[in-house]
Chain A
């Protein structure tokens, strides 16, 4: 048997803040995130992107990652990765379930859909203008790769999401 241990995370409530000189880009981004959360509440009734509801969870994941980064166990996402993650969340179609954000050890931001056995997808962003996909869609059907990302979902990612949700759109 092999065993690994898990660091204890913590949950922070998000508090509105004002970006000022000397504040890091990531801190400013968190302030923007709060504004987006408010925006999400306004838009929820209109059936727009399902990804908006994942934005608060992304903020919480970032806070946990920041604590782990201080212990040297984790890299923090680059401002570019945070921007791309927000773009991807905004671009998710309304028929798509909301993903669970995961700040990976490398600092990549993964958006994970774990919908049951063999229905799993991660779209990951690193702030490099690319999007990585890793998916298990059916028995023995493992799909992975990298494509360009310019703020909108490509055919590949939309196809994976469609297969995952088992919807014809």
Chain B
């Protein structure tokens, strides 16, 4: 999180492995309350309470050469961002996604 710039750090969009994926939820047509509830129910853990969420258009993801694959577990709106290549290049892509994202702090 970069509070000074109100956007996430590139780490937020970096997969754990070079060819891994990023877990997201499709939030189109959802209210802020519904987004918060999704996070609380399916993402939050006692040891790592949530501190906010960030949104970006799916077109930005596709524009970086990535894919959004529907993965309806644990929720029908769950998806994975896939198509990552190598860590050095992934950081640049993650930075582009973070720059395009809007950050909402709780």
Contact = CB atoms under 8 A, between A and B. Distances in A.
B58 A2 contact: yes
Contact residues of B: prevailing secondary structure: mixed
Contacts of B81: 2
For B10, B12, B18, B54, the residue with the greatest tally of chain A CB atoms inside 10 Å of its CB is: B10
Contacts of B45: 7, 71
Give the size category of B's interface with A. Answer: 35 or more
Interface centre among A2, A105, A112, A145, by most chain B C-beta atoms within 10 angstroms, is A2
Interface residues of A, number: 37
B65 interface: no
B11 A5 contact: no
B73 to A, nearest CB: 16
Contacts of A135: 92
The SS class assigned to the A binding surface is strand
- The CB with the most chain B CB atoms within 10 A, among A4, A73, A122, A135, is that of A4
B24 to A, nearest CB: 4
Contacts of A7: 45, 48-51
A22 B14 CA distance: 33
A5 B12 CA distance: 9
B80 to A, nearest CB: 10
Contacts of B57: 1-2
Given A1-B55, A5-B53, A8-B50, A124 B91 contact: yes
Interface of A: 1-9, 67-68, 70-71, 73-75, 102-106, 108, 110, 112, 114, 120, 122, 124, 132-136, 142, 144-146
6 contacts: A1-B58, A3-B53, A5-B50, A102-B10, A104-B11, A106-B17
